[in-house]
Amino acid sequence: MKKFLRANSFFLGCFLLFVILGGGLLFQIEKPEAILFFSERRTPFFDVFFSFATKMGEELTYLTFIVIFLFIKIRHSLLIPLVGFLVAGISIVTKNFFAHDRPLVFLEKMGIDHQVNYVDGIELYTGPTSFPSGHTMSAFALYGLVAFLIAEKKISGVFLFVIALL
């Protein structure tokens, strides 16, 4: 265990800092204010950037890492789809358990959906499947696994953590 912690200290340190800061923000900011805050600060660049970034926890990214690890260590390439299926299952169970409305439904219920600047061309989903974010869970699981698999490259842990945050 000590070897694992030492080898992954950069990634785990970033994660711990994120949990502390993110948890603190969750207690300070109400959900509607957070949505409106980001809505008011949209830019064309970030609209495009985040439409791609949100896909970094999807199937194509998993396939890419599977192929890469086939050339590095075959055993590691087998862990990647295992993590993907595990995250998908956990996501389904937790989304059904928490049953939080998606932002559009949440804002409609509050009567403030007209205050949001929506991104053109992005399909907004409805239903009680907002929390936890499947894309976020998937990205953290995938990039966390990759960071752990290449633990000897410490700076890559920080880089992969930043990608997982997106």
Q: pLDDT of 104-148, one tens digit each?
A: 888 888 888 888 878 888 787 788 888 788 888 999 899 889 888
Give me the torsion for CA of 20, 34, 28, 130, rounded to 10°: -60
pTM, two decimals, is: 0.77
> What range defines the domain where residue 58 resides?
2-165
The length of the chain is 166
Domain count, the chain: 1
Q: Measure the CA–CA gap between 125 and 4, rounded to whole angstroms.
A: 39
